[in-house]
Amino acid sequence: RYFIDWKNDVDSYFTIDATEGTIATNQLLDRESTAQYNFSIIASKVSNPLLTSKVNVIIHVLDVNEFPPEISVPYETSVCENAKPGQVIQTVTAADKDLSPAGQRFSFRLSAEASNKPNFTVHDYRNNTAGIETRRNGYSRRHQELYFLPVVIEDSSYPVQSSTNTMTIRVCRCDSDGTILSCNVEAIFLPVGLSTGALVAILLCIVILLVIVVLYVALRRQRKKDTLMTSKEDIRDNVIHYDDEGGGEEDTQAFDIGALRNPKVIEDNKIRRDIKPDTLRFPRQRPPVEDNTDVRDFINQRLQENDVDPTAPPYDSLATFAYEGNGSVAESLSSIDSLTTEADQDYDYLSDWGPRFKILADMFGEEESYNPDKVT
């Protein structure tokens, strides 16, 4: 009987017939992965299994042409701006992953779509190398910086394998001897005398200017916003609505009560801003307010001045007295919508307003309940 020595790691790739001793493959073989296998086969006698012998077997995997040839590095080359027609800029070779037989030949040519372009060509030297040659007089980086050249390579094995390899050709600035000086992006600016340091300085200046402009615009907007808010806070109109009543104690926007408590803060000699006058008239000179002036006297004085002034419009300067209105306990004390006669008025509700209005309730309530002697 024949069997493979199972101590080897490669025994899974092959199998053997126990009776005839025929060796066969058990899996697909890849020469590029493993080109040679080495294992042992043991033969034993059927009548006496203790009688055995061992022999080493070496299997060489034959090559099949399954991989196309490719260009060896480099895939990128350069050409000078002042290149002449027929100048060789790069010599290329080919590499094949298959085991190349003796006399293997590689051929080089341009692809069909690139053969009609007048920029570069491929010259096959027929010794498994080829040269990339120029076909025009001079190249301009400003017009085109990169050229892509497709090169087709074929081998001579069977079946024939071929591949198309694209080479990148970069236009560079060279001196008169053909030595490359620069091929990067800054080379475009070098003819005008700009270096790397100059370009960095220019970019930094541009960034700084942009930052300054952004900060200036932001400060202008903030200053404008603050000015509008301040101007809105400074404007105080005496009359808010001509046909509306004040909001009582909760109304803090109708009139600045501080102007009544301190008459000195009133702006004198200024035209009213709550209405638009038809004609411009000069304000009359008012006597200065004394320090010990009472608020009541001040109001009466201003009231008399407006009553005798024929040019003063009929509007109210005060919107709230801080003791009446919709927001107060007493609600509205206005005489608007009152009863026609005083006799029809019912003042019994005054007793519901609390102790602060007790005197008014006694005065306007039933006459017999009011006693002046009891009023303190």
- Torsion, Cα 161 166 172 176, to 10 degrees, reads 30
Handedness of CA 132, 135, 137, 139 (dihedral sign): negative
Q: List the end-to-end C-alpha distance of the chain, in Å, as a whole number.
A: 141
Residue 101 pLDDT > 50: yes
- Write out pLDDT tens, residues 256-291: 555 555 555 555 544 554 554 555 455 556 666 666
Q: Which residue matches tokens 């107060």?
A: 328
Structure tokens at 243: 């046909």
Task: Place 361 in a pLDDT band, splitting at 50, 70 and 90.
Answer: confident
Residue 330's pLDDT is what? 62
d(CA 154, CA 152) in angstroms, rounded, equals 7
Overall average pLDDT of the 151-155 stretch: 93
d(CA 123, CA 121) in angstroms, rounded, equals 7
Residue 184 pLDDT > 90: no
Task: Place 1 in a pLDDT band, splitting at 50, 70 and 90.
Answer: very high
Overall average pLDDT of the 66-93 stretch: 90
Residue type, 34: T
Just give the CATH number of 70-178. Answer: 2.60.40.60
- How many other C-beta atoms lie within 10 A of the C-beta of residue 33? 7
E runs forming strands in the chain: 2-4, 14-16, 23-25, 36-44, 52-60, 70-71, 76-80, 88-95, 107-110, 120-124, 129-134, 146-154, 162-174, 180-182
> Starting from the edge strand earliest in sequence, which strands make up the sheet with 36-44, in order?
2-4, 36-44, 52-60
Tell me how far the alpha carbon of residue 32 is from its chain's centroid. 50
CA distances from 239 to 90, 225, 274, 306, 333 (A): 92, 26, 6, 15, 19
Overall average pLDDT of the 36-59 stretch: 91
Is residue 235 helix, strand or coil?
coil
Q: Which residue matches tokens 């007493």?
A: 330
- Torsion, Cα 317 322 324 325, to 10 degrees, reads 70
- Write out pLDDT tens, residues 117-142: 889 999 999 999 999 999 999 898 88
- Write out pLDDT tens, residues 322-333: 555 666 666 666
Structure tokens at 247: 């909001």
**Residue positions counted in the chain:** 376
Residue 118's pLDDT is what? 85
Task: Place 58 in a pLDDT band, splitting at 50, 70 and 90.
Answer: very high
d(CA 114, CA 254) in angstroms, rounded, equals 87
Q: Which of 121, 145, 151 is nearest to 133 (CA)?
A: 121
- Write out pLDDT tens, residues 211-264: 999 999 999 888 876 665 555 555 555 555 555 555 555 555 555 555 555 555
Residues near 334 by Cβ (< 8 Å), separated by ≥ 6? Answer: 245, 324
Domain ranges of the chain: 2-60, 70-178
Residue 273's pLDDT is what? 46
Strand bridging mode 120-124 / 52-60: unpaired
Which comes out higher in pLDDT, residue 90 or 339?
Answer: 90
Q: What is the mean pLDDT of the chain?
A: 77
Residue 187's pLDDT is what? 46
Strand bridging mode 76-80 / 162-174: parallel
Q: What is the pTM of this model?
A: 0.42
Work out the angle at residue 137's Cα, subtended by the Cα atoms of residues 132 and 142, and round it to the nearest 5 degrees: 95
d(CA 363, CA 345) in angstroms, rounded, equals 13
